[in-house]
Structure 1
Amino acid sequence: MTKHVIRAVRADEWEKVKELRITALHDPVAPIAFLESIETAEARTDVEWQDRAAGAASGRAVRQFVAEAPDGSWDGSVTVLVEEIGTTDFLERVITVTQGHVVGVYVREGLRGSGIAQELFRAALDWCWSLEGPALERVRLYVHEKNERAAAFYRRVGFEFSGDVVPMPGDPSAKEHEYVVQRPVDTL
Structure 2
Amino acid sequence: MTHIIRAVDADDWPKIKQLRLDALLDPAAPVAFHDTYERAAAHPDAFWQERAAGAAAGVASRQFVAEAADGRWLGTVSVLVERAGTETFFGEVPEQPQTHVVGVFVRPEARGSGVAQELFAAALAWSWALAEPRIERVRLFVHQTNGRAEAMYRRIGFEPTGHTLPAPADENARELELAVLRG
The answer to whether residue 84 in structure 2 is matched with residue 81 in structure 1 is no
> Shift in Å at residue 94 of structure 1?
1.1
The answer to whether residue 132 in structure 2 is matched with residue 126 in structure 1 is no
CA offsets, 1:48-72, max 9 Å, x none? 0100111111132000000000001
> Shift in Å at residue 149 of structure 1?
0.9
Aligned to 2:60: 61
Secondary structure of 1:12's aligned partner: helix
Q: Which amino acid aligns with 2:95?
A: T
CA offsets, 1:106-135, max 9 Å, x none? 000111111000000001100000000221
The answer to whether residue 138 in structure 2 is matched with residue 139 in structure 1 is yes
> Shift in Å at residue 91 of structure 1?
2.3
Mapped to 1, the partners of 2:4 and 2:90 lie a distance apart of: 34
Please identify, of 84-93 and 112-121, the stretch whose mean Cα deviation from structure 2 is larger: 84-93
> Shift in Å at residue 95 of structure 1?
1.4
Moved >4 Å (runs of 4+): none
Aligned to 1:19: 18
Mapped to 2, the partners of 1:14 and 1:52 lie a distance apart of: 8
The answer to whether residue 151 in structure 2 is matched with residue 152 in structure 1 is yes
Mapped to 1, the partners of 2:158 and 2:4 lie a distance apart of: 24
Q: Which amino acid aligns with 1:91?
A: F
Q: TM-score, normalised by structure 1?
A: 0.95
Aligned-residue Cα RMSD (Å) equals: 0.7
Mapped to 2, the partners of 1:57 and 1:66 lie a distance apart of: 12
Please identify, of 89-98 and 13-22, the stretch whose mean Cα deviation from structure 2 is larger: 89-98
The answer to whether residue 114 in structure 2 is matched with residue 115 in structure 1 is yes
> Shift in Å at residue 170 of structure 1?
2.3
Aligned to 1:8: 7
Structure 2 residue ranges without an equivalent (≥5): none
Mapped to 2, the partners of 1:93 and 1:151 lie a distance apart of: 22
